[in-house]
Structure 1
């Protein structure tokens, strides 16, 4: 049951991420920072797709994706088309992994101790959904704020 809920949430929020990235009238605004805004929407998008492709794809799905977390926040002016492509890749990897997980696997410890202590796979996947939604809200706010500056 949790599997289906997570698939629905990740599908919805990754579709919303795509919509947000597409909604920037000026592609360069994806990368704007101003005043106290430390992270651009572009960097948050790169971070989200890197995070999901790592924790779902590489760790649980044994893909060959290699995460470069530092680059997620230092990259500049990645073309919008590449951001959108990465969203689709993340969406595919998340769905593929979730569809393949059993209830037993969800209740087992996640293979990596991300927070310095063990947690179940289901706990960590719910955390990843919340993390995606948190940054999605930041991107939405960034887009609306940057449009007024």
Structure 2
């Protein structure tokens, strides 16, 4: 095998590994959010510790909007119909099931788009609107930034769930492992 073929093969392997890890990361964040939101009732989904702090419902709307915009529009080339302001000003009560449906639909579409990414596509540059103007990043950069954003809000949702449920919070356990007192994610 020649050097060019080897380098191309390495590039393809790295891209495939990156896409596999990105898809696993997306699924892990979705599972964490499902776990937390699944323990909340309709009122708790829209609870906020104080005015000026987002509810879990707002965060779900925000994440669905962000995933649709970044993966569906910026990477996938679809229309950008995001209402970012509305994600944060909504006060509900949109039912929990509807919020999760919107979020999971956006995450599913993000996963579909991730599955199509090639080494060439990962290196292409995207231009998109931010609050402070236009940004330019590689597709790889958009994926990393989007997944980091998703995981940050997933932890925020989990924290808000634990704040509300206290001792009633049900810790996640790896399958087949009995729960440890006071431990878990």
With normalisation by structure 1, the TM-score equals: 0.88
Aligned length in residues: 147
Alignment of 1:1-149 (within 5 A): 1-24=17-40, 26-35=41-50, 38-64=53-79, 66-76=81-91, 77-112=93-128, 114=130, 116-148=134-166
CA apart distance, 1:61:
2.1
Q: Classify the secondary structure of the residue corresponding to 1:101.
A: coil
Q: Which has the higher helix share?
A: 1
With normalisation by structure 2, the TM-score equals: 0.72
User: Which 4+ residue blocks in structure 1 deviate beyond 3 angstroms?
Assistant: 62-65, 113-117
Where does residue 178 of structure 2 map in the other structure? none
CA apart distance, 1:37:
6.5
- Alpha-carbon spacing, 1:68–1:109, altered in 2? closer, same or farther (3 Å): same
| Bigger RCO of structures 1 and 2 (CA < 8 A, at least 6 apart) | 1
Larger of the two Rg values belongs to structure: 2
CA apart distance, 1:57:
1.3
Unaligned runs of 5+ in 2: 1-16, 167-185
Q: Which has the higher strand share?
A: 2
CA apart distance, 1:144:
1.3
Unaligned runs of 5+ in 1: none
Contact 1:33–1:39 under 8 Å retained in 2: yes
Cα distance in 1 for residues equivalent to 2:134 and 2:72: 21
Q: Classify the secondary structure of the residue corresponding to 1:119.
A: strand
